[in-house]
């Protein structure tokens, strides 16, 4: 049932440090982080299996899987999405929720932040980004959804005072003016976490926002560089 999440799993593999969280009856009961040394989905599955068995459960007991869907690391996103799809295909009763990664990151902003731009490096002088504003209830409202842009252009459009958050900040510091109304959040807030993926995923599940395994795909925003180069080399 949509309103009864039961036993679930959250997967976050979009950044340099990944994590997995176990959910029971709407609450995160276990969370583990790992370095982004994984190159294949098979490296993540034993960790998930160990976490579930530590709760006296197995993958077959899962009812919902919440996966951070991007944008972010192309390799990392493929791993997380592949694992989520594999679990759902092995257990047809599992429901999948694709959680936008930049929404997950926005939840790391300090409570006093009113305007926020998320910054992830997209190389070539560009960023993967989204812009948010707090509503009267303290929740984030998306003013610009995930897209490819430059930080300079985003700063021009954003209201002040503005908080910046994300692992792309060190790569684009030259675009950040020395201004008291542009605030860079602490570096420990720059990575998304599976516990937040779980919280946002649960809210989406309660609204019935599920994704079928056969259509679940990463939100890349831009094609991987290798794919772009192949297309350029094979243009007629």
Task: For the chain, give every domain's residue range.
Answer: 7-101+192-233, 109-189
Q: What is the pLDDT of residue 229?
A: 53
Q: What is the predicted pLDDT for the residue at 41?
A: 76
**With bands split at pLDDT 50, 70 and 90, how would you rate the model's confidence at 234?**
low
User: Which residues, listed in sequence order, are joined to residue 21 by a DSSP beta bridge?
Assistant: 10, 31
Closest residue by Cα to residue 12 from 197, 167, 188: 197
Greatest CA span in the chain, whole angstroms?
Answer: 57
Q: Give per-residue pLDDT as tens, 21-53.
A: 999 999 999 999 988 666 677 789 999 999 999
List CB contacts of 165: < 8 A, sequence separation 6 or more: 105, 106, 108, 109, 116, 117, 118, 119, 185, 189, 190
| Cβ-based burial of 169 (10 A; exposed 0-12, middle 13-18, buried ≥19) | buried
Q: 200 or 43: which carries more pLDDT confidence? A: 200
Q: What pLDDT sits at residue 2?
A: 44
CA dist., res. 151 & res. 57, Å (int): 45
The better pLDDT of the pair 72, 40 is held by 72
Which pLDDT tens digit goes with each residue over 203-224? Answer: 999 999 999 999 999 999 976 5
On whether the CB atoms of residues 139 and 196 are closer than 8 A, the answer is no
* 68-104 per-residue burial string, b: 16 or more CB within 10 A, e: under 16: bbbbbbbebbbbbbbbbbbbbeeeeebbbbbbbbbbb
pLDDT of residue 227: 55
Q: State the CB neighbour count (10 A cutoff) for residue 234.
A: 7
Q: Which of 46, 6, 13, 45 is nearest to 27 (CA)?
A: 6
pLDDT score recorded for residue 3? 44
DSSP annotation of 186 reads: P
Tokens 């890349």 found at: 220
Helix (H) / strand (E) element for 158: namely none
Domain 109-189 - what CATH class?
alpha beta
Tell me the fold of 7-101+192-233. Answer: Nucleotidyltransferase; domain 5 (3.30.420)
Query: Which stretch of DSSP H or E encloses residue 59?
Result: none
Could you tell me which residues are beta bridge partners of residue 95?
64
- 76, two tokens: 């990392």
At residue 5, does pLDDT exceed 80?
no
Cα distance between residue 155 and residue 160, in whole Å: 9
Q: What is the C-alpha to C-alpha distance for residues 62 and 87, in angstroms, rounded to an integer?
A: 9
Q: Do domains 7-101+192-233 and 109-189 have the same CATH topology?
A: yes
């Amino acid at each position: 049932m949509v309103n009864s999440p039961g036993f679930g799993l959250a997967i976050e593999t979009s950044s340099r440090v990944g994590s997995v969280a176990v959910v029971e009856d709407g609450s995160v009961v276990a969370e583990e982080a790992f370095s982004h040394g994984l190159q294949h989905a098979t490296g993540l599955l034993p960790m998930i299996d160990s976490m579930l068995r530590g709760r006296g459960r197995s993958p077959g007991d899962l009812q919902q899987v919440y996966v951070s869907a991007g944008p972010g690391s192309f390799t990392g996103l493929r791993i997380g999405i592949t694992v989520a799809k594999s679990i759902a295909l092995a257990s047809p009763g599992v429901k999948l929720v694709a959680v936008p990664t930049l929404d997950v990151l926005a939840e790391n902003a300090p409570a006093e932040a009113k305007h926020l731009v998320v910054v992830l490096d997209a190389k070539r002088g560009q960023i993967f980004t989204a812009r948010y504003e707090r509503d009267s209830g303290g929740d984030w409202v998306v003013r610009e959804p995930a897209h490819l842009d430059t930080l300079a252009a985003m700063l021009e459009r954003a209201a002040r005072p503005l908080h910046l958050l994300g692992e792309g900040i060190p790569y684009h510091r030259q675009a950040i003016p020395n201004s008291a109304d542009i605030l860079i959040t602490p570096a420990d807030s720059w990575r998304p976490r599976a516990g937040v993926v779980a919280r946002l995923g649960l809210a989406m599940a309660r609204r019935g926002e599920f994704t079928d395994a056969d259509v679940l795909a990463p939100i890349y925003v831009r094609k991987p560089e290798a794919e772009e180069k192949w297309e350029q080399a094979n243009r007629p």
